[in-house]
Structure formats: C-alpha cells, structure tokens
Amino acid sequence: MDWNQNGETTVVFKATPERWNQLTKEIEIQMDPAGLNVKVIHRITNNGAWPITFAPWSLSVMSAGGRAVVPMTANDTGLLPNRRFVLWPYNRLNDPRVVFTESAIVVNQGEGPTPYKFGCDNEAGWAAYSNHGDTFVKRYEPAAGGVYPDYGVSFELYTNSSMLELETLGELQTVESGSTAVHTETWHVVKGLDLKNGSEQQAVEQILTYVEK
C-alpha cells in the first residue's frame, strides 16, 4: 500500500497472465484522504501476439436483504425509442422482487421464482444498493453511443436468493498487442441513507435527491 502524490492510499492487485488468452487483469484501489470515495480502476492488458476483442466487466456483489435502485434514461425522443431493457432466459416478467417506477427500476433482494438479470443503458452512470441502514453508490462513465456487449447495454444487475450484483461494463473494443483496456468506477457509502425504509417510489426519490444535489 502506497501514498500517491494526491495523498490517496493506493493498493494494486495484479494477476499473472491467463494461460490461453495471455490477458493480464489488474485492479487498482485508491482511497481519498477524507475517506469519502474509493476509486476502482480495472485494467486488462493484452500480452499476446495478436489483437483481442473484449469488454471489461466489473461486478460488485451485495449481501442479501437489501434494495437496489437503477435509474432509467429520461431523454425525450418523441415517437422514437429512448432505452434498452435486456432480459435473460431464466427471468420471469412477473417477478415480485422487481418494481418499475417512472424514473428507475427497484429490485428488492430476496427469494424469487428464479434468478433475475437485466441490462440497461444507464446513461446516468450510477446505481445504488441499500442494506443495514446505509447505501452503497457505484458510479461509472458510460460512453454516449458506445459499443457494448449484451445488446449494447453498459449496466447489468443480477440477483438470486443469496445476493445481488451491480455490474458495470466497459466498451467492447479491439485491444492491440501490448495495449490496455481501462474501466474506472467510483464507490461511496452514504451513512444513514436507508432506501428500504419506505416504498419503492420513496426510495427512488431519496436516492435521486442525493445523487442530483
């Protein structure tokens, strides 16, 4: 663990190159001096002899019993579509854990008929998960008009009876030999912000008040 020039505490976790594709994965974690934010930098380096096409995929695994809020785009495109909502084969559209409000998708982690996973554009670049009276906020910077896997979505959420994942994706790109793909997130915990204390609509209003101030 080191202190960088900005006074941040930094630790780097680096794996050995993978045997078959010669990709090296690295995670750098930076904590600011005030302890308010954590920057997580994901790097994937192509050590092979030829270009490889891939996208970084970052999963944050949340403990059971919480509530997630994921914003939906508010762009007014008139008679044209303005968002993508991607589903997986095991999903059930009537899953009681999933609630749609006017501006966000709310997922209550718990028992359900099957696992549930969705992908969306998430142009706002954040998602939140509340548990035990506090709220974890995960931010990233989706590329407007960027190319992403899974029908072009930059954010995915997965849940089963044991946990919930907030998943961000980097752009799908061809990485040349010796080059590195970088995907950056910012993590923050809001102490005392309990999105489970109230209805799903109240949870959306609470987190929007926080992220938009």
- In the chain, where are the structural domains located? 2-75+83-211
CATH code for the part of the protein at 2-75+83-211 = 2.70.98.10
Q: Which residues contact 189 (CB under 8 A, 6 or more apart)?
A: 134, 135, 136, 137
Residue 201's CB: how many other CB atoms inside 10 A? 14
> How do 67-71 and 126-131 pair as beta strands?
antiparallel
Give the per-residue pLDDT at 204.
97
CA distance linking residue 168 with residue 42, whole number of Å: 11
Give the per-residue pLDDT at 189.
95
Residue 77's CB: how many other CB atoms inside 10 A? 9
**Contact predicate 106/99, CB 8 Å:** yes
73-88 pLDDT, tens digit per residue, is: 888 999 999 999 999 9
Confidence of residue 139 (pLDDT cuts 50, 70, 90): very high
**Mean pLDDT across the stretch 139-158?**
96
105, 126, 151, 185, 192 from 188: Cα distances, Å: 20, 11, 29, 10, 13
* Paired tokens of 204: 């959306």
Give the per-residue pLDDT at 24.
98
Confidence of residue 4 (pLDDT cuts 50, 70, 90): low
Does the pLDDT value for residue 5 go beyond 60?
no
**Contact predicate 181/170, CB 8 Å:** yes
Whole-number average pLDDT of the chain: 94
CA distance linking residue 130 with residue 60, whole number of Å: 13
Does the pLDDT value for residue 34 go beyond 90?
no
- pTM for the whole structure: 0.92
149-177 pLDDT, tens digit per residue, is: 999 999 999 999 999 999 999 999 999 99
Does the pLDDT value for residue 39 go beyond 70?
yes
